[in-house]
Structure 1
């Protein structure tokens, strides 16, 4: 399959802050690639580098050409920070952005796609946060791009609106649109992305399809039993240990939960509740970010502690504002 986007050894620094440290990736035509990572890991800076909206070392090609040489009608971009004129309605804003292109989509169709038909004539400043974000998403779709960059597209959108937007993005991908998005929503990344890349400390530390990442880095399933039972007194075929007030049994398939219950009963031990969970993309995120040195994770408390100094994307935003 032909790659729509190819980046090799992309680097960007802002003073002493290293925002991107040798990032290489490729995204095939029609693929959805999700970038996840801690705040300040460099996601927004990478989107800017890939779209040619910030200077960077290394090589970036879109459709086989320098980003600045690509027909702008082929690329759509929704920045993380986007503040259109407040005294225009959603319809007027989309009509304005559509007027920047020789060929644009029907505005009413775009309004329908992003769920704004009923609020199309409301001033932007009077829209809710989620409605504003959907208007901004619409502005990136008016030119019917072949390659779409979305930096945290569903921020501030309610659950129903978020799922509707997911449906829209899936439809665009099914139609051949290549999509690169950043997100902090692991469920969003898992549902939408053909591949997920974790950016940490300015480096792409892993990239693969979500299920493969979960299988490789997500760890084992866990059955948490609220009981005072001693694991040494139980006849179990699975590793078990006490954590706080609970018994944690690892690597238990759901069909074997009954075996654990039987073992408790045989030992005369009672329990108040059972909770089974399997690893997911969030566990992958925590594992890889911790390994990369971005976070220390304490499973006993569920707390995340930031390590290191400097916020890469904040430094990038400050530097870009001074340009």
Structure 2
């Protein structure tokens, strides 16, 4: 596969704060690549470096084989996190304006329909809901049918139904061959959409791989979480088990579904009352929390 986005030891600082600290990654043609991490991890700064809206302090970047400033902007779509169009435009006018910037743009009404908006709606952008505004911005980023699409927190402020609708739009774009570089702090979004994920913490890439690979290597073990009637800092004495107290509750690690009954019987035998229990498989969020702790030098309790 041909890489269409490449970062090599990219650095960017603001004063004494290193927003991006030696990041290297590559995204292949037709791949959906997610950069995940909390607010302040450096995701937006890296997107700005990759798209040429910010110049790195160190390292190098390639977009479609060129420096970002020299890349063919007809082939690139960008949805910034902080995109703020004029309030006194309708969604149709907004997308129509961006369509006029490209040689071979899609029909604005069709793009708005794809994201769940009506091009004939005469409501000004400033009077739309937060989710509707974000969907209009997504449409503006899609109107040129880009070969490479950068989406910086694309579903921020979008309700669950609208979020799922946008996910379907992104999945259809990926199926048609569009390369998508996605940033998000929503681990479920990354797990659903991404072929590969880079976990960013403190401006550095902690790990890169498929969601399945990252969960298997860093997510920990399946666990049974037991909720006691009262909070406790000391795990109950349950013969045959070594539970731990975490922020989730009392955790019995490495318990398979068929082993739940054994744990419940042991709790009964030990005279331990509980209010609820839940069995949980490790997720991408678990992997991220473990890796973020390693990068930032703090202990993360699951």
Q: TM-score, normalised by structure 2?
A: 0.91
Gap regions ≥5 residues in structure 1: 300-323
1:120 aligned residue: 121
Between the aligned partners of 1:245 and 1:165, the Cα distance in structure 2 is: 31
Between the aligned partners of 2:293 and 2:223, the Cα distance in structure 1 is: 20
1:161 aligned residue: 162
CA contact (8 A) 2:247 2:301 kept: no
Between the aligned partners of 1:293 and 1:148, the Cα distance in structure 2 is: 30
CA contact (8 A) 2:199 2:207 kept: yes
RMSD: 2.3
Cα deviation for residue 241 of structure 1 reads 4.3
1:35 aligned residue: 35
In the alignment, is residue 111 of structure 1 matched against residue 121 of structure 2? no
2:11 aligned residue: 11
Instruction: Write out aligned runs for 1:170-209 (5 A).
Output: 170-209=171-210
In the alignment, is residue 280 of structure 1 matched against residue 283 of structure 2? yes
1:310 aligned residue: none
Distance change in 2, residues 1:67/1:241 (3 Å): closer
1:217 aligned residue: 218
3-state SS, counterpart of residue 25 of structure 1: strand
Cα-to-partner distance string for 1:38-66 (whole Å, 9 max, x where unaligned): 32221111000000111112221122111
In the alignment, is residue 48 of structure 1 matched against residue 51 of structure 2? no
In the alignment, is residue 262 of structure 1 matched against residue 265 of structure 2? yes
3-state SS, counterpart of residue 282 of structure 2: coil
Aligned length: 297
Cα deviation for residue 13 of structure 1 reads 1.9
1:22 aligned residue: 22
Cα deviation for residue 215 of structure 1 reads 1.2
Distance change in 2, residues 1:27/1:257 (3 Å): same
Gap regions ≥5 residues in structure 2: 230-234
